[in-house]
């Protein structure tokens, strides 16, 4: 007599689905802070160039804290927000102002005796270098908004004018050009910082910054099917 043995396979419960929770950190737009830093340092510095104030001793705190730290802080936030324009531009000009502040401090003897080998024309060379970089930034600024574009145009007037003044090339003329260009940067910067602040706070355009000029289209070149067929 044969007996059949039934094999019973235990039924296991299906694993519970894994719940994926996505956490997104919301970071505010730091543009107003960064542009305010640029505006304040250029405003204070232009007061010396315009003859309203004298000396560079009390320019150093504004260059260090507003011109450099505020812009570098804003640049760091823009890197996290993947805002390429703001990250690079604010960071670059923030480093410029901390270097200028160090130049002033060294020239005043804060870090010890200067010696007879110091050549202040090296600051003029640095202005030329930043002028070259600012030409590229200006191209991008024309496709950001009109206020940024105007600020970059004035920066590209200021930097060579400063360089020529430091080199002693027609200094009386170019020092005046630099003074008015720097003052213009400050005033436009105040408007830009205020506009960005109010527009972000109220969630709509309170103060316009102007649309991009549209000279250069962003993104890869688009090749239509019709264009391909023509070739």
What top-level class would CATH report for the domain 31-213? mainly alpha
Ordered by start, the domain boundaries in the chain are 31-213
What would the two tokens of residue 167 be?
């080199």
Contacts of 50 (CB under 8 A, 6+ apart): 179, 180, 183
pLDDT value, residue 231: 46
Give tens-digit pLDDT for 143-199.
Answer: 999 999 999 999 999 999 999 999 999 999 999 999 999 999 999 999 999 999 999
Q: Which pTM does this prediction carry?
A: 0.84
Q: What is the pLDDT of residue 225?
A: 44
Q: Which two tokens mark 80?
A: 């996290």
Per residue in 204-218, is it b (16+ CB within 10 Å) or e — as a string?
A: eeeeebeebeeeeee
* pLDDT average, residue stretch 25-44: 94
Instruction: Give the percent of the chain with pLDDT over 70.
Output: 86
Task: State yes or no: pLDDT of 4 exceeds 80.
Answer: no
pLDDT at 223 over 60: no
- Burial of residue 220 (CB within 10 Å: 0-12, 13-18, 19+) is exposed
**pLDDT for 51-70, tens place per residue?**
999 999 999 999 999 999 99
What is the per-residue pLDDT for 110? Answer: 92
- pLDDT above 90 (res 206): yes
Classified as helix, coil or strand, 12 is coil
What is the tens place of the pLDDT at every residue in 104-128? 999 999 988 887 788 999 999 999 9
Lowest mean pLDDT among 5-14, 92-101, 133-142, 198-207: 5-14
Confidence band for 23, pLDDT divided at 50, 70 and 90: low
Half-sphere exposure of 60 (CA within 13 A, CB side): 13
Q: Mean of the pLDDT values across residues 10-34?
A: 75
**Residues 81-94: tens digit of each pLDDT:** 999 999 999 999 99
Query: CA-to-CA distance for 46 and 171, rounded, in angstroms?
Result: 16
Residue-by-residue DSSP string for 81-143? TT-HHHHHHHHHHHHHHHHHHHHHHHHTTTTS---TT--THHHHHHHHHHHHHHHHHHHHHTT
pLDDT at 221: 54
In the block, residue with structure tokens 């200006």: 138
- Predicted local confidence at residue 209, as pLDDT: 97
Q: Which two tokens stand for residue 198?
A: 């109010």
Lowest mean pLDDT among 42-46, 64-68, 217-221: 217-221
Instruction: Give the residue from 84, 66, 77 showing the smallest Cα distance to 26.
Output: 77
């Amino acid at each position: 007599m044969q007996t059949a043995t039934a094999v019973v396979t235990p039924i296991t419960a299906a694993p519970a689905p894994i719940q994926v929770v996505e956490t997104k950190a919301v970071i505010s737009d730091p543009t107003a802070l960064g542009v305010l830093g640029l505006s304040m340092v250029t405003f204070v510095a232009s007061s010396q160039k315009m003859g309203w104030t004298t000396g560079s001793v009390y320019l150093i705190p504004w260059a260090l804290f507003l011109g450099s730290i505020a812009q570098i802080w804003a640049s760091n936030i823009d890197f996290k927000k993947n805002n390429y324009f703001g990250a690079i531009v604010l960071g670059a000009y923030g480093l410029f102002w901390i270097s200028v502040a160090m130049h002033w401090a060294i020239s005043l003897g804060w870090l010890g005796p200067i010696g007879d080998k110091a050549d202040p024309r090296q600051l003029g060379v640095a202005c030329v270098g930043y002028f070259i970089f600012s030409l590229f930034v200006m191209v991008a600024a024309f496709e950001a908004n009109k206020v940024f574009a105007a600020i970059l145009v004035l920066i590209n007037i200021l930097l060579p004018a400063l360089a020529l003044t430091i080199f002693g090339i027609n200094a009386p003329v170019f020092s005046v050009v630099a003074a008015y260009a720097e003052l213009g940067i400050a005033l436009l910067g105040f408007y830009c910082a205020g506009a960005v602040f109010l527009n972000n706070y109220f969630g709509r355009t309170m103060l316009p910054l102007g649309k991009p000029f549209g000279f250069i289209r962003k993104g890869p070149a688009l090749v239509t099917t019709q264009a391909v067929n023509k070739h």
